[in-house]
Structure 1
Amino acid sequence: MVELLASARAGVRLLSLHGTADLRRADRLLRQVWGTRPGDDPPISLDVMCALAHTGGYVGGAFLDGELVGVAAGFLASGASLHSHVAGVAPRARGLGVGLALKEHQRAWAAERGLGSVSWTFDPLVRRNAYFNLVKLGARAVEYLPDFYGPMTDGINDGDVSDRLFVTWPVVPDPAFTPVTEAPESAVTVLDEAGAVRPGNGAAVLRCATPPDVERLRENEPGEARHWRAALGGVLGAAFADGYRITGFTRSGWYVLARGGTA
């Protein structure tokens, strides 16, 4: 039912993709979204998508007026989970709820197969993704992964360190879980809006800033983007190692962390 509501809100039709023709369309769309140039590695190769679709993995597509505008692909993972490896929405369809519809399609697909959760990674510097994943969806950040994919040449990530947050999203929503959307006044700032690192001094709650638009920084001020990558990675990595967990993300771009908390 939730899947149908999400699809209706976005005005899209959600389908599992099969066959070389549809998967080639998916490949072209993902390359467009990532800005992949000739000679670059694609976000996911066509042969892998074909193998996933044929052997029981997940490849889903969102169609708007008969045109493919969103794609997601993933595979079965340990712990009775679907791991979503890649998801992208065409520029013209952004802001219509297509990403949410794709996620709900993944959740429904996982539920039909008796799986307990959906997992994925995302770039912790991208504000809109952090808010979407942690607040709108209610996924839980469970691990900070430094340079997880190594050097990438897919277009959008060229020349950047591939630090990622690993999140899990339960197939059956937990009604008791509510992500934090505002940091309490008592929260101690460990990374400020200027990108300066500060000591946390063992505070119960921490807050950690992100740059307003890291994609613009990568393009126009690569040195500043690298500074933010190193600063955020150092702060979040140290906080996770010290027993803190991300409990939410604010609309103004701050991670909120609590010692022993769960996101």
Structure 2
Amino acid sequence: MPDAIFAHPRLAAVYDAFDGDRDDLGAYLGIADELGADRVADIGCGTGCLAVLLAGSGRTVMGVDPAEASLRVARAKDPAGEVTWVHGDATAAPAFGADLAVMTGNVAQVFLSDDDWTRALRGVRGALRPRGHLVFETRRPERRAWEEWASDTDPVVLDLPEAGVVERRFEVTDVSLPLVSFRYTYTFLSDGAVVTSDSTLRFRDRDEVETSLVANGYRVRDVREAPDRPGREFVFVAQRTA
């Protein structure tokens, strides 16, 4: 089940506003250019920011996400229907012959068990053409991002045209490495509604990720820094083996 922040209709509707500028997406567009990718699968596409950007560059794009509320927001950004939107998780990605599959943000870290991660990698592999690429980012556990998160407790308040004034609070609820859990609490001041969303991420180190890729039919071509978050994340560039 996707987290409420993506699946609850009221939270999905305000997600983009609280997420802010997606400065990270330009790097993925650049990678698509670098790899000559004309067909791209955006796995865990959420509200569709990257998928729409890729389609606008003339590519054939499929966006896959398990949260119908987020896909509803994504479809509204794509009135011409240029993107193929698929409701499901990574294992539900249909054969697409993709030159490139991407997982941005925290998508690669939501697969908590080894079995879930294996199924995700195999599902994405099935969406790729032979020798197609998978590119994704994951936070470096040695940076201990959760400690920064725990110290940032100030609420964020936005006045949104579609929702009125909304307050968001954040708290880290558990650190049991390699798992870190946290909670968002949204208060809609227009009617006093309070909606919470609990999430858990798994922090895998570089060797663990590389080993899992090789075991599931990929060759690791490169491991890079995230240009917008240097030193904080790895960006893996893997290629489906023939």
Shared fold per TM-score greater than 0.5: no
* Higher RCO (Cα < 8 Å, 6 or more apart): 2
Structure with the larger strand share = 2
Q: Which has the larger radius of gyration?
A: 1
TM-score normalized by the length of structure 2: 0.28
